[in-house]
Amino acid sequence: MRELMVKLSINDRPMEVPEGTTVLEAARKVGVHIPTLCYYEAIKPYGGCRLCLVEVNAGNRTALTASCTYPVAEGIAVQTDTEEVLEGRRLVIDLLLSRCPDVPALQEIAAQLGVMGPSFVKGEGDCILCGQCVRMCHEVQHVGAIGLVGRGAKRQVTTPYGNFSDVCRTCGACQFVCPTGHFQDLARISGKTPKPKLNEFNVGLNTRGNIYRLYPQAVPNAPVIDETNCIKLQTGDCGICTQFCASGAIDYDQTPKEVTLEVGAAVLAPGYQPFDPSGLKFYGYGRYPNVYTSLEFERILSPGGPYHGHVQRRSDGREPKKIAWIHCVGSRDMHEGSKPYCSNFCCMAALKQAVIAREHIGEDLDMALFYMDLRTPRKDFEKYMVRIKDQGARLIRSRVHSVKPVNRDGDLEIRYVTEAGEVQGEVFDAVVLSVGMVIPKETRDLAINLDVPLGPNDFMDATCFDPVASFRDGIYACGAFTGPKDIPQSVMEGSAAAAAATRLLAAARGTLLKEKEYPPEKDVAAEEPRVGVFVCNCGLNIGGIVDVPALVEYAQGIPNVEYAQANLFTCSQDAQKQMAEMIQERGLNRVVVAACSPSTHQPIFQDMLRTSGLNKYLFEMANIRNQCTWVHQNEPEAAAEKCRDLINMAVAKARLLQPLEYITVGVNNKALVIGGGVTGMTSALALADQGYQVSLVERKDKLGGNALKLHTTWRGGLVKPRVDELKAKVLSHPNITIYYNAVVTGAQGSVGNFQTTLSTGQVIDHGTVTIAIGGEPYRPEGLYLYKEHPNVLLSLDLDEDIAAGSDRLKNAQAAAFIQCVGSRIPERPYCNKVCCAHSVESAIKLKVMNPDMAVYVLYRDMRTYGERENLYQKAREMGVIFIRYVISEPPVVAKGEEGRLKITVKDHVLQRPVTFSVDLLTLATGIIPHHNAPLAEIYKIPLNAEGFFTEAHAKIRPVDSSTDGIFLAGLCHYPKPLQESVAEALACASRANTILSRDYLELESTISRPIDENCDGCAFCIDTCPFKAITLIEYMKDGSVKKTVEINEVQCKGCGSCMATCPKQGIYVAGFTPEQLGAQVEAALGLI
């Protein structure tokens, strides 16, 4: 049944609203502000505060009345800001201010009305007797725990007879609606103190409501109701949230559902939970407020955290000037409840937090990090550690004994033992515990239910050659579930697991795919611009700061704007449908959305345009959330002005938008893999098993690479049988073509269509490239008698001796290892990630061969990360002696008697030099790149300072190069163990599959376009282009040679560097022409 509508005017503006609407509600619909302190949408209007006075003219009668209780009537004329109305409001606020002079809400309204202070004697109250709390308790909660009693000056809100109410639920609804803050202490009503609901995302550092979002990037990013505390779900009362939800999304009858899915493969990525240090009493966590876990401190540092990025202490809100980080809390620890393994990411996380804390607090922040071994083995992490050390961070090698308070201010003393055995203490403002990771019970239960075996530390059992495969066919895993790891490796393993799953499902690829169809696009190029503007409330993100209806009214007055409307969430399906209807109904040919970030939401709206029959590039977005209401939330008037400017600028550009031609490029569904080691073979096989033709290029005459020199993995598995098995599969695979004794000498093309030339003369056409050319061991010429003494070996040489059971080993009475030879020095400032575990593994093998052999490991930091820590523990238990040295005092090796070697090193415990003789010395040298530079030049891939290939993004694109369609795996990217190289190989196959599985790629049309008549071929733009997408060409024009530039549409990303560089306006980015940008500037300046 259609609701009856009533016509009226407010401030001489005609409008139409449903019958039964109050004047206050009608005013709000058109953005007219009327002050009120007693109105709440979910409660029946009461007219208690009288601040909402308006002047109503109904026929021959004009009167001042409370707008919250006055229903609209046909033909009435309402004025909200006449002098009589304002004077009446001044009188009301004067009286209220006299009763409650210190209430901020009253002071704000008084200031708006020009009332500087009360005219009468000041009272001391904070209740204006608006009655909202009483009505909320009676009408909505149906409890009636409080009421208004007394008359005149003695009237007050209280419980029956002033006693504690036995019906009060302490729900806080009265406190929530109170406009003056009268109900500060709910315990005075019920005698019970409400327990705050802690914000789980901020690790309990602040509170949340019963309706909340799990975290800002949740998928789906919808609010949830805490059913354990919801009055409606617990008692059947309340339910007012349904009245506020304009989209009708709240359903109290929802229940958990069990869903059965039929799938061909499953990937397990259940993650981990941080270690709870409350059981380690000596750290004081949970007892002393200024002791934090690393996750808590991470949230404190976050702009979206409990203190909005301001670093402050839990105890007193004071900014700390001296912070300590204690490493390995719950990791590398044999205490009951702790874990024996290294959690891998904690050292680097602590260093990062120290850097960010210094940025927030200032350069005078005193940073101290207490650690046993500083483990920064990933790419460029060592440089990061050196940088923070240079910035003044104190890295203190120690074992922490206890953390105790020293005063009532909350300061804390750390007692610790140095390497020399000295007990020292130091006082700090705050202490951060770098806690490790543990696998929660829920994950263990999941593994049991799926019959997936777990190892002794509850991580999934996997082999180095199948790092993401469980021992149950069709079930794969990635991330922390397969072992402790950081974000880059977890993201990489996610792609690797996807490759393993899609390999299994290759025969079914595309069978469930449905291609979306779009209607023919209207030709609007010759039409006058008819712009539609859609302004989003984004819940309270925008609508809670600025007056969205007023922005809509403003937009309607901009030239060429045919239609404007507000939406609660413009990105919702309902809003999208309504926008599409308006495009058709109003004949809109340009669309502007004023909402959030185009980087996240522009594709949604562009797709809506296509479904509406418009070219998707006839769209412009004004980011009034990120750029305005978020950053100016405390300045609503200034935010509103900026919103208007942004909308005007967007419309100014939209007027000049033209349809752009969609660009597609066909895909060559063949792959090229460069490098025939284990990494290259694994990637090639993963692609070939999915049906793609693969060209595998190997510079030598056989496959296997560096793995041919390895005998066992760190887990003890044999390498040779697995390499032989892998080679056999590659050699027999019908989809793999191998090119031996070949190197790449040239390449052209771009993603989807490369053409590579080999030294053997073959030219290969392919759609993607995977580079897995490995690395080589550093040869320490001139160091530690290498090549001067026959018993000075490299790690791989010792492996050969161990495998062969050589006489040299059988006769040896003592052996030593020197770590970091040629690594972690200025010339090669990186850790090689494999050396420590390799040496410890070899030391164990020596002790197994001869338990009486004295084995020494000379190290700087023992980096047996993850579960490799078990090797370190085992070696120590077997009697291997570990001696730490510092880079400024390296070991000295000299020739001894009877062919032995004499080693002198300063012992880190005794703090004096010690000398001992050994029969065998193994140098743990690092890995250096080889043959990277030529490929970097050919494929336009940057190298880092040490010559390794650089990935596009360390965390979210760890195996992608900066050149689309080219991927990186193994040692050529950075030194890493075999297990990680294999995972990277699978990840590269997965990333390549996202391209090879398509028949064509749709490119962005907002790319550079030369203007031939303006371009004089100066070539300034060529060197400026970061994507190497511009080529200088010559052609004949009017009988003479004309120089200009040509754009590679696939490589161009539309960054605009060329446009900014060109002195002749000879090139522009489509969709960002000088005219369009100029119009935006003029709009910003108020010229249009």
Task: Annotate 687-747 with DSSP letters as a single string.
Answer: HHTTT-EEEEE-SSSSSBGGGGG--B-TTS-BSHHHHHHHHHHHHH-TTEEEE-S--EEEE
Among left, alpha and beta (phi > 0; psi -120 to 50; other), residue 380 is left
Q: Amino acid letter at 730?
A: V
Average pLDDT for 605-612: 95
Give the CA dihedral 396, 399, 401, 403, nearest 10 degrees: 40
Mean pLDDT of 765-792: 96
C-alpha–C-alpha distance, residues 141 and 146, integer Å: 11
Q: What order do you get walking across the sheet with 693-697 strand by strand?
A: 736-739, 693-697, 670-674, 768-771, 966-968, 957-961, 951-953
Whether 539 shows a pLDDT value over 80: the answer reads no
Structure confidence at residue 2 as a pLDDT band (50, 70, 90)? low
> Do the beta carbons of residue 308 and residue 315 sit within 8 Å?
no
Question: What per-residue string of b and e applies to 540-555 under the rule 16 or more CB within 10 Å gives b?
Answer: ebbbebbbbbbbbebb
**527: number of Cβ within 10 Å:** 11
Over residues 802-857, the pLDDT tens digits come to 999 999 999 999 999 999 999 999 999 999 999 999 999 999 999 999 999 999 99
The residue type found at 1049 is E
- Structure tokens belonging to residue 346: 């904690």
Name the amino acid, one letter, at 690. Answer: Q
Which pLDDT value is given to residue 248?
Answer: 83
pLDDT for 290 equals 98
Across the range 487-503, mean pLDDT stands at 97
Using the predicted structure, report yes or no on whether residue 252 has a pLDDT greater than 80: yes
**What is the tens place of the pLDDT at every residue in 684-727?**
999 999 999 999 999 999 999 999 999 999 999 999 999 999 99
Closest by CA position to 98, among listed 116, 118, 112, 127:
118
Instruction: Using alpha carbons only, give the angle 686, 692, 693 rounded to the nearest 5 degrees.
Output: 110
- Per-residue pLDDT at 614 exceeds 80: yes
Instruction: Output the CA–CA distances (angstroms, integers) from residue 478 to 451, 496, 497, 955, in the order listed.
Output: 17, 8, 6, 15
Mean pLDDT of the 955-977 span:
96
Domains and CATH numbers, the chain: 5-113 (3.10.20.740), 132-190 (3.30.70.20), 196-251 (no CATH), 281-438 (3.50.50.60), 531-658 (3.40.50), 666-775+944-1002 (3.50.50.60), 779-925 (3.50.50.60), 1005-1084 (3.30.70.20)
Phi-psi region of 616 (alpha: psi -120 to 50; beta: other; left: phi over 0): alpha
In the predicted model, what is the mean pLDDT of residues 58-66? 91
65, burial (CB in 10 Å: exposed 0-12, middle 13-18, buried 19+): middle
**CA-to-CA distance for 389 and 391, rounded, in angstroms?**
5
Alpha helices in 539-587 (DSSP H): 548-556, 573-586
More confident residue, 1038 or 458: 458
Give the mean model confidence (pLDDT) for residues 1017-1042.
90
Q: Please, which residues have CB within 8 angstroms of residue 429's CB and are 6 or more apart in sequence?
A: 290, 313, 318, 320, 321, 322, 323, 410, 411, 412
Confidence at residue 812, expressed as pLDDT on a 0 to 100 scale: 95
Tokens of 416: 């610790």
Determine the average pLDDT of the residues in 241-262.
88
Helix and strand numbers, DSSP H then E, in the chain: 28, 50
- Predicted TM-score (pTM) of the model is 0.86
**Contact yes or no for 903/922 (Cβ under 8 A):** no
> 910 falls in which pLDDT band (50, 70, 90)?
confident
DSSP lists the bridge partners of residue 482 as none
SS3 assignment for 352-388? HHHHHHHHHHCCCCEEEEEECCCCCCCCCHHHHHHHH
How far separated are the first and last CA of the chain, in Å rounded?
A: 46
For residue 138, the model assigns a pLDDT of 93
Please give the share of the chain, as a percent, with pLDDT higher than 90: 82
Residue 559, judged by CB atoms within 10 A of its CB (0-12, 13-18, 19+), counts as exposed
Are residues 354 and 442 in contact, defined by beta-carbon separation less than 8 angstroms?
no
**What is residue 218's predicted lDDT score, i.e. its pLDDT?**
79
The string of pLDDT tens digits covering residues 383-398 is 999 999 999 999 999 9
404-429 per-position pLDDT tens digit: 999 989 999 999 999 889 999 999 99
Q: Read out DSSP for 773-830?
A: --EEE---TTSTTTTTSTTEEEHHHHHHHHHHT-HHHHT-SEEEEEEEET-SBTTB-S
Which one-letter DSSP state was computed for residue 282?
G
Confidence of residue 1067 (pLDDT cuts 50, 70, 90): very high
Q: Is 1's pLDDT higher than 60?
A: no
pLDDT in tens, 864-889: 999 999 999 999 999 999 999 999 99
Strands 156-158 and 147-149, sheet pairing: antiparallel
Per-position b or e across 897-911, b if 16+ CB within 10 A of its CB:
eeebbebebbebeee
- Does the structure show a pLDDT above 80 at 580? yes
Cα distances (angstroms) measured from residue 541 to each of 148, 176, 310, 620, 695: 36, 20, 21, 20, 52
Bridge partners (DSSP) listed for residue 771: 674, 968
What average pLDDT does the segment 173-177 reach? 91
- For 744: left if phi > 0, alpha if psi spans -120 to 50, otherwise beta; the answer is beta
pLDDT of residue 1038: 83
The 10s digit of each residue's pLDDT in 289-338 is 999 999 999 999 988 899 988 999 999 999 999 999 999 999 999 887 89
Q: Which residues pair with 904 in a beta bridge?
A: 892, 915
